[in-house]
Chain A
Amino acid sequence: MNSTTPKKRELPFKNVLVFGSGPIIIGQACEFDYSGTQACKALREEGVRVVLLNSNPATIMTDPGMADRTYIEPVDPMTAIEIIRRESIEAILPTMGGQTALNLITALSQIPNALQGIQIIGANLKAIHLAEDRRAFRELVLSMGLDTPRSTIIRSVEECEAFAAEVGFPFILRPSYTMGGTGQSFVFGSSELVEKVSQGLAESPICEALVEESVLGWKEYELEVMRDSQDNAIVVCSIENLDPMGIHTGDSITVAPAQTLTDREYQDMRRDALELIRRVGVETGGCNVQFAVNPGTGRRIVIEMNPRVSRSSALASKATGFPIAHVATKLALGYTLPEVVNNVTKTTMACFEPPIDYVALKIPRFHFEKFPGADDILLPQMQSVGEVLSFGASIGEAFHKALNGLERKWPIFKPVDSKNPIEAWRAESELLLRKAHSRRGYAIWDALASGLSPEDVSALTGWDPWFTRQIRGYQVETGLGPRAQHFVGDVRFEMIDTCSAENRAMTPFYYTTREKLSRSTWVDSHLKDFWKKPDIDPKKRGRVVILGSGPNRIGQGIEFDYCCVHASRSLQEMGFETIMVNCNPETVSTDPTSSTRLYLEPLHEDTVRAVLVRELDPAMKAGQEAYVLLQMGGQTPLKLAAHVEKWGYKVLGTSPAAIDLSEDRLKFAELLEDLKIPAPESVVVTEWEEARSLVEKMGFPVLVRPSFVLGGQAMKICSNERELREAYAMAREVSEDYPLYIDRFLSDAVEFDIDGICDGERAWIGGVMEHVEEAGIHSGDSTCVIPPLKLPAAKIDEMAGLAKKIAVALKVRGLFNIQMCVLGDQIYVLEANPRASRTIPFLSKATGYPMIDWSLRAALGENVKKIVPADRMPGNYRLPSHGFAVKAPVFPFSKFKSFDPILGPEMRSTGEVMGMDPKPGSAFAKAYQAAGLHLPLSGTVLFSVRDLDKQRCLSLARVFDLLGFKLMGTPGTASYLKKAGLECAAIPKIGHSALGDDLLSVIREKKVHLVVNTTGAATTLRDATSIRKAALQYRIPLMSTLSGAEMASMAIQSVMRQGLLKPMALQDFIESGRLSDERDPGFD
C-alpha cells in the first residue's frame, strides 16, 4: 500500500514566511512557541526555506538555527511587507502564531497589493474572515441548521418581556451603540426586568438593545479538529470543562477526554464540528470548535471556532501525544492525513482519533496577588498566566496531581479546621465555592474531603456531579484528606501512546499513577519488559534529569523553558541521555522530542523522587554519570535542591550549598564584605520595633523585601515611616515565619544585569545589560540595552571584574547572574543568582553566544578558557560594533482594570520583546513598537512629574519642544517649564475644572499623544493613578520614569531621522558581530 509512505511533495513555493505570536501576554503564551517551533521543523523537513517573524526573544522558535532567516522585529504589517519584499516570500503560514498572526494576515489583506502573488497556507483568508467575523459566523451556523444562543433586537420593555417569556431567565442585555460594553448586564428575573431594560434602552443613543439568551452554567466542550486537502477530517481530542460556561475556557479546569456525554451526543457534536470546518473552509490545517450543552435538556449550541492552532491544541497535543501543529504544518504543505505517519507508534497513520486510557486534566495558574486591588473573580475574559497538565488513572488522581503541580501553598480554608466542618463550609459556601475564584479547585477538594456532599458542591459550583462524586470517591479510596500535599501509594509509570496500548508505542513519554488496581503476577514474569525501567545505553556517557520550571507565572516564564530545552539539546550532544520533568503543557520542553525521555509530571518532591529512582539509580549502578540539573528552571527546581542532595543524587553544576550562600542575604553580605565589594546597607528584622529603629539609623528611602519569594513579590520602596509600616505588614503576610530584609534604597542609581559562566575557578562575562529605568524597578520589568549606553568602558570593566570575583568566590559552576547598580562613581552589588537568569535567551540572541551550552560544559568540569573561543574571550559587553539590542517588557495591566499600572520592585510583566539595530535609537523604537507602544512622531506630550524630577524633566521637555511637539503639564510641572521659558499649557487636575479640559478629558479625547508621569508624595498619588489608568484605557503611550521617557525621545528622533525602521535578520546581526575592542579584562 502506498498510504503510509509519504512521497516528498513537489512544492510550488520555496520561501515561506511564518508569523510568531509576539510577546507573552495573558491569553497568548508559550503554546505558540511550541506550535511555531514544530511548524519550523516540519517546514524544514520538506526543504522549505523558512523566514520567521516574531518579536519575542525568549522563544525557541527564534533561535538562529530554527529558521533560515529570523526576524526578531515588531509583528506588524509594515515590517511584514518589508520582509516579504526582501526575502522574496512566496507563501505565508499565519495559523501558528495565535490571534496576533491572524490579525496580521487580516491587516495585510486589507493593504492593496501587500499579498499579491502570495499563497496563504494553513487557512485561507475567506475562512479566517468567516470564523472571525461574529455576524458572518453566526449566519453560517444558523444556515447549517445548528443552534446559537437565541437573541433579538428590542426597542421597548414589552418586546423584551415577550423575549423573556420565550427564552427565560437569565438573559443578557446589550444596549446598542454604547462604548465598550456600557450598560451591558444580566437580567435574572422578571422583578428586575423593567428597571434594567428601561435603563439599558435609555443608555442607548438609538433606544435599542440586543437581548441574548444566557448560557451561563451550561456544560462547555471543545473539539480539536483537523482537515486535509482530500477532505479527510478527524477530531484529535475532545475536552470538557469542569467549570461551566461563564468562565473563560483558558481559566477553566478542563479534562480530556470528554466525560459526561453519551456516544450519541458526542457523535452529534463531532459531526457538527467537522461540518463547520468544511463550511468555514479550513482546507489544510487544524482548528477548534467550542460548544455549550444545556445540562438539563441537552440542547447544544455553537459558541465559536478558531481557524488556527491554539492553546487548546497545545494542550490536546500533550494530552493525547498527537502533535497537532506538526501535522497541521504538513497539511498546509499539501500532504494528506493518511500520508503523515503517527510519530508515536511509527507504524500507524496520523489519520485516526487517539483513544486514551487515562484522564488528562488542565488547571490554570493565576497570579492575582501581583495585582493588589484586582478582584479575584474569574470572568469570561481570561486572567490566568499559566497552566498545569496532569495525568491520572482516574479523574480524582489527575485532579489531585494537578493541584499539587501548581506550586503554591495549599490555601488555608478556615472551615477545614472547624469543629463542624460541614456546617462551616455551608456558612462560607458563597464566598469559597459559589464565587469562581482563583483557588476554587483547592476549596472544592477540601470541602469534599471535609464531608460536604458532592451534590452540594456541584449545586454551588456548577460542576457536573459526576466530577465531584469522582473526586470524593478518590479521596475515600486513597484516604487523602483536606490539604493533601503528598501522594500516596506505590508509583507506576505508564506511557502516553495515542492508542490505549492497542499498538506498541515508540515515543518515550510517561506519567505516573499510584492507583491501586488489580494486577497479575503472570504479567510480571511474562510481559514485564513493557514496564521495565529504560535500559542503560552503554554508548552513552550517562543520564541527566532536567527539572523544568512548571506552570508559567509572572517572574518565571518561557525564558526558563528556553534554558531547559537548550540544556537538553546540549547535554545530548555531549553524550548524555536527558530526562525532562515538567508539567507545563504549553512549552517546548514538554514536547517529547525535546529530550531522550519526558515525564509530564508535577515538579513535586514525590514525583521527582520517583523519576530519579527510576532513571538515575540504574545509571549509577552501571557506573555512568548521573546528575540532576536544577540551574535552568528558575526558582522551582531550586526549591528541590536540598531534597535532591538528601536523597543522594548529584546536582550538576553549582552546589546547593553555594546556591544557599547566595540566597541567604546575611551570608552573602558577609561574603561581599570579605571581598571588599560594596553593597547597599542592609538589615534583617523580625520585629516591627526593630525595623523602625534600624531604618531610623539608616535613613529613608528603604527597600523592604520578604524572604523566599519570586519576582519581587510584596517588595516595596518606602520613603517614610507610614509607608514602612504598610510595607512591613504586607511582607509579613506573604512570608510570616521568616525574617524581612530592609535595604537602603539607592535612588536614581543605574542598574545592570550581568550574565556569565564560571567553572569554579575562572569566570567569563557573556554580557552586561544596562537598565533604562533606575534601580527600584524590578529587573524583569525594566527595559534594558546591550551594550550599555550610559557608562564609560572602564566602569563596565570594573563591574565585570567584580562579577567574576563574586562568581569565583561563590564557586559557581555554570551560569551566574549578578545585579549591580552604579550611583555616582560607586558600584554596588545588589544580588547574585548562581543559575540561569531571565536574560539568558535575550543575551544569547544579542550576542550569538550559546550561553547554555557553554555553561553546561563548565558545569561538567571543562575550563572556561577552553570553552569560550579565543576571539570571544574579551566578551562583547563593552562595545560591539554591530549594533544594539534592547529588551522591553510587556504588561497585563489592561486585564486588571482596578489596578494602578505603575512599575516598582515587584515584577508584573508577562513577556518581553526585543529590538535590534545598528543604531541605539532605532533598537529602542523597534522594541517599543513590538511591545505595542506606538510612539508619536508629532502632537502633544503631557508632563506630570514629582518635584524631584522637575529639573531633569526640563531638558527632556526641551528635546520634545525642539522635535516640534506641543507641551502640556499639570499646574506644578507646567509652571516650572514655563519659568524656564518653554511654552506649556497648564491642565487642571481632575475635578478642578468646572468647564474646560482636565487631565482626564485630554487623555480621553486623545488631545495628548504621550504621557510622562512620575509619582512623588501621596497627595498627588490619586491623580497620578487616574492619569495612568486613563492613559492605559485610551491606549496612549505612558512613561512612568524619566529615563524611560528619555529613551522614548531618542527612539522618536531615530524614527524621524530614518523614516521607516529597517528589519534586520538575527543571522545578519550575529554575523556582523565583530569585536572592535580587543582588550582582555583577564581572568581572575
Chain B
Amino acid sequence: MNADQDSTLVTLLLECGASYSARGYGDFSKPRGSELVFCTAMSGIEESLTDPSFAGQLVLNTVSHVGNTGYTEEDMESDRIWAEGLVCRHLEKTPSSWRAKSSLKQWIVAQGRYVIEGVDTRELTVLLREMGSQRALVYESSTLTPEQARKHLIEKVPPMAGQDLCSVVSCKKSYFFKDDPKAYWPMRSRDVWEGPSRKVLVWDFGVKRNTLRLLAANGFDVEVYPATAKAEDILAAGAEGLMLSNGPGDPAAATHVISELKKILGRMPVFAICLGHQLVAHAVGAKTYKMKFGHRGIHHPVVELDEKGQAVRTWITSQNHGFAVDDTTLPQDVRVSFVHGDDQSVEGLSLPALRCETVQFHPEAGPGPFDAAGMIDRFAVRMGTDAR
C-alpha cells in the first residue's frame, strides 16, 4: 500500500523455487540470504525483531498490518535488530502511538536491515506450512537473473541446520544487568526485596531483556555470562542458580556449550528456556530435530503435566523455535513436564536429580502473554529452597 519513493523492486526467492516480487525498503546492493520463517503473533514486531533467537532469519508476519504503532525503543528486547529482515502484507509508514519514536520502516532501515511488503503473506504461509521453513534470497529484481539468484541461494546461503549462532549473538564479556528505568516494563523496585543480597547467573545465548527483568524483580543481582563461559567460572561465581537463556541456531552445533553444561548439571539449580532447554537435552544424551516450520507466535497452548503424566493445566505461551527435543531419545529419568497442546511436541523437562527444570516456550513474554511468567518465580523459589 501507498508505495514510497524510496522503495526498491525486489524479488523474494525461495529454495523450493517459488518467487515473489515485492516492494523493499533497505539496502539491496547485495543479495540478502537467510532462512524464511513465519510468525503468527498479531503484535510485538519490535520485540520479535530484537529477539536474538531470530538471528539469521527472515521473519514473515502473518497479520494484515504491520508497523501500526511504529518503533518505541523502550520495547526492544536487546540493543539491536537480530532478525535479517521482515516480510509483510501491509507496512504502515506513519506510526500511531503516543510512544512511537519513529516508524518501523525508518528504524529497520537505520539498523541496516530490510523490510518487504505487498506479498500475499497467507499464500506464503501455506507454502511454508506445507513445504517447511527454508532458505530464501531477497535481491533487487533488476540485478540478477532467476538462474543467478538460484545459484546464489544454493551456494552462498547456509542452511540453518548445523549453524552455531548462540556465540554470535551472546555478550562477549560478563556484566551485571541494570535495567533502563524508562523501559515500558522497568523491573520492580529492589526495595521490595527485603532479604539478603542474592545472585543468579544467566548464561547468554541470546537473552532477552525481559528474562533479566523478571529475575531482577525476584530480588536477584543478575550477572550475565557469555556463551563461551567455562563451567568452573560459573560454578565459582557464588550464584544461587544458573539460568540458560534462549538463542538462535542449531543446538546440536553448540557443542562447546554442551560439554561445559555437562560439568554443571547437578551441581547447582538450573532453569533453562528455549535453546537452553535444548542444550540441556543434549547434555543428558538426548537429541533434537529440526521442525518442519516450528512454533512462532504468542498463542501456543502448552500443557503442564504432573509426575503421572496427567494434565495439570494449560498455559498460553509465547514461542519462537525451529528445533525441538526428540522425546524418544530422552533418558529414563528425565520426565517430560510440558507438551505442546496441538502437536504434543516436548515443551519442558524435569530433571530433579540434576536440579534442573527446562521449558521450550518463553515465560518472559516480550512479545506475548505473561501467563507463564510464574515459571521464573518458581525458579527463584527453587533456588531459595534447594539447600544442597
Number of A-B contacts (CB under 8 A): 211
Given A352-B301, A517-B120, A518-B118, A260-B342 contact (CB < 8 Å):
no
User: Which of A230, A266, A502, A522 is in CB contact (< 8 Å) with B19?
Assistant: A522
User: Which of A296, A466, A469, A522 is in CB contact (< 8 Å) with B18?
Assistant: A522
Bound form: Cα–Cα A504–B130 in Å: 9
Do residues A263 and B368 form an inter-chain contact, with CB atoms below 8 A?
yes
Bound form: Cα–Cα A260–B42 in Å: 11
Q: Which residue of B lies closest to A468 (CB)?
A: B96
Do residues B367 and A520 form an inter-chain contact, with CB atoms below 8 A?
no
A: residues with CB less than 8 A from B are: 1-4, 230-234, 257-264, 266-267, 270-271, 274, 295-298, 336-338, 347-349, 351-359, 392-396, 464-466, 469-470, 473-474, 476-477, 494, 499-504, 517-520, 522-523, 526-527, 530
Bound form: Cα–Cα A464–B314 in Å: 36
Bound form: Cα–Cα A298–B14 in Å: 41
Q: Which residue of A lies closest to B17 (CB)?
A: A522
Judge if B47 is at the interface, Cβ distance under 8 Å: yes
Q: Which residues of A contact B240 (CB under 8 A)?
A: none
Do residues B311 and A518 form an inter-chain contact, with CB atoms below 8 A?
no
User: Which of B14, B62, B130, B342 is in CB contact (< 8 Å) with A347?
Assistant: B342
Do residues B69 and A261 form an inter-chain contact, with CB atoms below 8 A?
yes
Do residues B313 and A499 form an inter-chain contact, with CB atoms below 8 A?
no
Closest 6 CB pairs of A and B: A263-B44, A522-B18, A466-B96, A353-B299, A517-B120, A263-B43
Do residues B299 and A357 form an inter-chain contact, with CB atoms below 8 A?
no
Chain B nearest CB from A494 CB (Å) reads 6
Q: Which residues of A contact B90 (CB under 8 A)?
A: 394, 470
B: residues with CB less than 8 A from A are: 1-2, 14, 16-22, 38, 40-44, 46-47, 62-65, 68-69, 72, 75, 89-90, 92, 94, 96-99, 118-127, 129-130, 184-185, 297-301, 303, 310-314, 316, 339, 341-342, 344, 365-371
Do residues A522 and B16 form an inter-chain contact, with CB atoms below 8 A?
yes
Q: Which residues of A contact B297 (CB under 8 A)?
A: 355, 502
User: Which of B43, B122, B365 is in CB contact (< 8 Å) with A357?
Assistant: B122
Q: Which residues of B contact A476 (CB under 8 A)?
A: 1-2
Do residues B40 and A500 form an inter-chain contact, with CB atoms below 8 A?
yes
- A selection of 10 A-B contacts at a CB cut-off of 8 Å is A355-B62, A356-B42, A392-B64, A393-B89, A465-B96, A500-B62, A518-B21, A520-B124, A527-B127, A527-B130
Do residues B339 and A1 form an inter-chain contact, with CB atoms below 8 A?
yes
Given A267-B367, A517-B89, A522-B18, A230-B299 contact (CB < 8 Å):
no
User: Which of B21, B43, B63, B310 is in CB contact (< 8 Å) with A262?
Assistant: B43
Do residues B369 and A262 form an inter-chain contact, with CB atoms below 8 A?
no
User: Which of A231, A295, A396, A502 is in CB contact (< 8 Å) with B313?
Assistant: A231
Q: Which residues of B contact A500 (CB under 8 A)?
A: 40, 62-63, 122, 125
Given A3-B303, A349-B301, A519-B64 contact (CB < 8 Å):
no
User: Which of B65, B120, B313, B316 is in CB contact (< 8 Å) with A234?
Assistant: B316
Q: Which of A2, A230, A234, A355 has the most CB atoms of chain B within a 10 A radius of its CB?
A: A355
Q: Which residue of B lies closest to A256 (CB)?
A: B42
Chain B nearest CB from A242 CB (Å) reads 12
What 11 additional pairs, Cβ within 8 angstroms, besides A262-B72, A517-B89? A1-B339, A4-B341, A230-B312, A232-B313, A262-B97, A295-B98, A351-B316, A353-B316, A501-B125, A502-B62, A522-B19
Do residues B65 and A359 form an inter-chain contact, with CB atoms below 8 A?
yes
Q: Which residue of B lies closest to A274 (CB)?
A: B371
Do residues B89 and A394 form an inter-chain contact, with CB atoms below 8 A?
yes
Do residues A262 and B75 form an inter-chain contact, with CB atoms below 8 A?
yes
Q: Which residues of B contact A396 (CB under 8 A)?
A: 1
Chain A nearest CB from B172 CB (Å) reads 29
Q: Which residues of B contact A258 (CB under 8 A)?
A: 43
Do residues A1 and B344 form an inter-chain contact, with CB atoms below 8 A?
yes
Chain A nearest CB from B344 CB (Å) reads 5
Q: Which residue of B lies closest to A467 (CB)?
A: B96
Q: Which residues of B contact A394 (CB under 8 A)?
A: 1, 64-65, 89-90
Q: Which residues of B contact A230 (CB under 8 A)?
A: 312-314
Bound form: Cα–Cα A351–B120 in Å: 28
Q: Which residues of A contact B312 (CB under 8 A)?
A: 230
Bound form: Cα–Cα A260–B368 in Å: 16
Given A234-B316, A267-B369, A355-B41 contact (CB < 8 Å):
yes
Do residues A260 and B341 form an inter-chain contact, with CB atoms below 8 A?
no
Given A264-B185, A523-B127, A469-B92 contact (CB < 8 Å):
yes
User: Which of B18, B99, B118 is in CB contact (< 8 Å) with A298?
Assistant: B99
Q: Which residue of A lies closest to B96 (CB)?
A: A466
User: Which of B123, B127, B185, B300 is in CB contact (< 8 Å) with A352?
Assistant: B300
Chain A nearest CB from B250 CB (Å) reads 23
Q: Which residues of B contact A257 (CB under 8 A)?
A: 42, 63
Q: Which residues of B contact A502 (CB under 8 A)?
A: 38, 40, 62, 125, 129, 297
Bound form: Cα–Cα A353–B318 in Å: 11
Bound form: Cα–Cα A527–B14 in Å: 15
User: Which of A261, A336, A523 is in CB contact (< 8 Å) with B123?
Assistant: A523
User: Which of B38, B42, B120, B129 is in CB contact (< 8 Å) with A518?
Assistant: B120
Q: Which residue of B lies closest to A358 (CB)?
A: B64
Q: Which residues of A contact B119 (CB under 8 A)?
A: 517-518
Chain A nearest CB from B120 CB (Å) reads 4
Do residues B1 and A3 form an inter-chain contact, with CB atoms below 8 A?
no
User: Which of A260, A336, A352, A523 is in CB contact (< 8 Å) with B299?
Assistant: A352
Do residues B122 and A501 form an inter-chain contact, with CB atoms below 8 A?
yes
Q: Which residues of A contact B125 (CB under 8 A)?
A: 357, 500-502
Q: Which residues of B contact A530 (CB under 8 A)?
A: 126, 130
Given A394-B64, A518-B20, A266-B43 contact (CB < 8 Å):
yes
Do residues A477 and B64 form an inter-chain contact, with CB atoms below 8 A?
no
Do residues A298 and B20 form an inter-chain contact, with CB atoms below 8 A?
no
Q: Which residues of B contact A296 (CB under 8 A)?
A: 98
Q: Which residues of B contact A261 (CB under 8 A)?
A: 43, 69, 97
Q: Which residues of B contact A266 (CB under 8 A)?
A: 43
Do residues A259 and B68 form an inter-chain contact, with CB atoms below 8 A?
yes
Do residues B99 and A466 form an inter-chain contact, with CB atoms below 8 A?
no
User: Which of B75, B96, B123, B310 is in CB contact (< 8 Å) with A260?
Assistant: B96
Q: Which residue of A lies closest to B90 (CB)?
A: A394
User: Which of A3, A233, A470, A519 is in CB contact (< 8 Å) with B341?
Assistant: A3
Do residues A263 and B1 form an inter-chain contact, with CB atoms below 8 A?
no
Q: Which residues of B contact A517 (CB under 8 A)?
A: 89, 118-121, 123
Chain B nearest CB from A458 CB (Å) reads 9
User: Which of A295, A349, A354, A355 is in CB contact (< 8 Å) with B342?
Assistant: A349
Q: Which residues of A contact B96 (CB under 8 A)?
A: 260, 464-466, 469
Do residues B64 and A393 form an inter-chain contact, with CB atoms below 8 A?
yes
Do residues B341 and A351 form an inter-chain contact, with CB atoms below 8 A?
yes
Bound form: Cα–Cα A464–B69 in Å: 11
Q: Which residues of A contact B303 (CB under 8 A)?
A: 1, 3, 338
Given A338-B314, A500-B40, A260-B126 contact (CB < 8 Å):
no
Q: Which residues of B contact A494 (CB under 8 A)?
A: 122
Q: Which residue of A lies closest to B312 (CB)?
A: A230
Bound form: Cα–Cα A518–B371 in Å: 37
